[in-house]
Amino acid sequence: MTRVLGIETSCDETAAAVLEDGTQVLSDVVASQADLHARYGGVFPEVASREHIKTIYAVVDQAIKDAHLSIPELDAIAVTRGPGLAGSLVVGMNMAKGLSLASGVPLVGINHLEGHLYSAWIPQENPEYREPQFPVIALIVSGGHSSLILMQDHLTYTQLGRTLDDAAGEAFDKVARLLNLPYPGGPSIQKAAENGNGQAFQFPRAWLEGSWDFSFSGLKTAVLRTLQELHADGRPVLVENLAASFQAAVVDVLCQKTLAAARQFHACSIVVAGGVSANRALRKAFLDQKEFPVHIPPLKLCTDNAVMIATAGHYRFLHGFRDDLSMDVLPNWPLVSMSQK
């Protein structure tokens, strides 16, 4: 039996969770700053780090209490080391180090993207749950990342493609601002798109033939130019149609390129994770296809949380990984450097 405390402070959520045997969630506490950052139209790094300092002790304490454990009863403390905002990462890292120093419980540094991947290995009391079978093609889509990863086994990663400019979530936020929709952009565009026609505007798809990379900057520019043309011609701006057409273009590229990679590398399953995986249109596109089994975490595990960090920590701990108090944060830490091979 392994019991792992996960601590996550990579961006604007202060989170802690305790996981038993890699599958049973004993506690899950998240303090979100979304409302605080909405006034800025995005995450304000300095504000985020200050809020983490204010809430980290209470969040971790609540996670331990909800799990009905004490710190010495844990087998490991898993903490997000990167990538993320440096000031935010430091808060979680120092909390984890303090707990480890005081209790002697081992530390395990976790890549935030690895955490997102391992959110697909959490059953969450789903009676129909089947864990992903290797080889896995994993699509990680969030505010800062759009990556296509090949997993041949646990903790073994090959990056096939990445975003060359705007990540998918970043594109959602920027287009939402163009359409005067509130932050965060993902949920706002999804809501507006529900009443729109996804075929109203034929926005471009950057397929980048011969590459597994992504690019959404051109799509964002196409939305801007369409808005400018509509205003110049005095035509009505139907925000719902613009949102739906933009969303359709993003979903089309993400889904089709992932399926193509799954065919190319003879995948047994597909994992879709990260904040953008909460998007209903994206989930539907993947779940409607019958070519590959697709694993998408439940909505509460798509956004940043500590359950996923504890899960990744469970696998790393079982494979013998340990870190000491000299461990430092790595704001630009690539996932491929985490591979055990």
Averaged pLDDT for residues 309-335: 97
Strands in 71-188 per DSSP E:
76-82, 107-111, 136-141, 146-153, 156-162
Torsion of CA 174, 180, 183, 188, to 10 degrees: -100
Averaged pLDDT for residues 68-94: 97
Domain residues for 44?
A: 3-121+301-338
pLDDT confidence of residue 123: 87
Confidence category of residue 340, pLDDT binned at 50, 70, 90: low
pLDDT confidence of residue 87: 96
Query: Angle formed by the axes of helices 217-233 and 239-264, to 10°?
Result: 160
Instruction: Looking at the structure, tell me whether residues 63 and 177 fall in a common domain.
Output: no
Nearest-angstrom CA–CA distance, 141 and 6? 21
Query: 186-192 long-range contacts, Cβ below 8 Å, gap at least 24?
Result: 186/275, 186/276, 186/278, 186/279, 189/243, 189/246, 189/247, 190/247, 190/279, 190/280, 190/281, 192/239, 192/240, 192/243, 192/244
Say if 236 falls within a structural domain. yes
Nearest-angstrom CA–CA distance, 13 and 149? 25
Averaged pLDDT for residues 119-141: 90
pLDDT confidence of residue 41: 75
Domain boundary among 264, 280, 297: 297
Alpha-carbon Rg for the chain, nearest whole angstrom, is: 20
**Three-state secondary-structure class, residue 290:** coil
**Three-state secondary-structure class, residue 294:** strand
Instruction: Looking at the structure, tell me whether residues 164 and 311 fall in a common domain.
Output: no
Say if 131 falls within a structural domain. no
pLDDT tens track for 204-215? 999 999 999 999
pLDDT confidence of residue 341: 42
List the structure tokens of 307.
């359950």
Indicate which CATH number applies to the domain containing 40.
3.30.420.40
Q: Is the backbone peptide bond immediately before 184 cis, with ω within 30 degrees of 0?
A: yes
pLDDT confidence of residue 207: 97
Q: What does pTM read for this prediction?
A: 0.94
Instruction: Looking at the structure, tell me whether residues 106 and 156 fall in a common domain.
Output: no
Instruction: Looking at the structure, tell me whether residues 201 and 117 fall in a common domain.
Output: no
DSSP notation for 98-112: HHHHHH-PPEEEEEH
Instruction: Looking at the structure, tell me whether residues 285 and 143 fall in a common domain.
Output: yes
Count Cα neighbours of 232 within 13 Å in the Cβ-side half-sphere: 6
Residues in the chain: 341
The helix (H) or strand (E) run that includes residue 8 is: strand 3-8
Number of domains in the chain: 2
The letter for the amino acid at 45 is P
Instruction: Looking at the structure, tell me whether residues 292 and 306 fall in a common domain.
Output: no
pLDDT confidence of residue 151: 97
b/e code 133-145 from CB counts within 10 Å (16+ = b): eebbbbbbbbbbb
Instruction: Looking at the structure, tell me whether residues 65 and 211 fall in a common domain.
Output: no
40 vs 275, residue with greater confidence: 275
Say if 128 falls within a structural domain. no
Instruction: Looking at the structure, tell me whether residues 222 and 319 fall in a common domain.
Output: no
Instruction: Looking at the structure, tell me whether residues 159 and 282 fall in a common domain.
Output: yes
Say if 217 falls within a structural domain. yes
Mean of pLDDT over the chain: 94
Nearest-angstrom CA–CA distance, 304 and 18? 15
pLDDT tens track for 256-287? 999 999 999 999 999 999 999 999 999 999 99
Q: Which residue has the tokens 């590229």?
A: 253
Say if 18 falls within a structural domain. yes
Say if 127 falls within a structural domain. no
Say if 210 falls within a structural domain. yes
Instruction: Looking at the structure, tell me whether residues 275 and 305 fall in a common domain.
Output: no
Instruction: Looking at the structure, tell me whether residues 328 and 276 fall in a common domain.
Output: no
Nearest-angstrom CA–CA distance, 287 and 163? 23
Q: Is residue 31 a contact partner of residue 15, using CB atoms and an 8 Å limit?
A: yes
Say if 39 falls within a structural domain. yes
Instruction: Looking at the structure, tell me whether residues 279 and 141 fall in a common domain.
Output: yes
Nearest-angstrom CA–CA distance, 16 and 66? 11
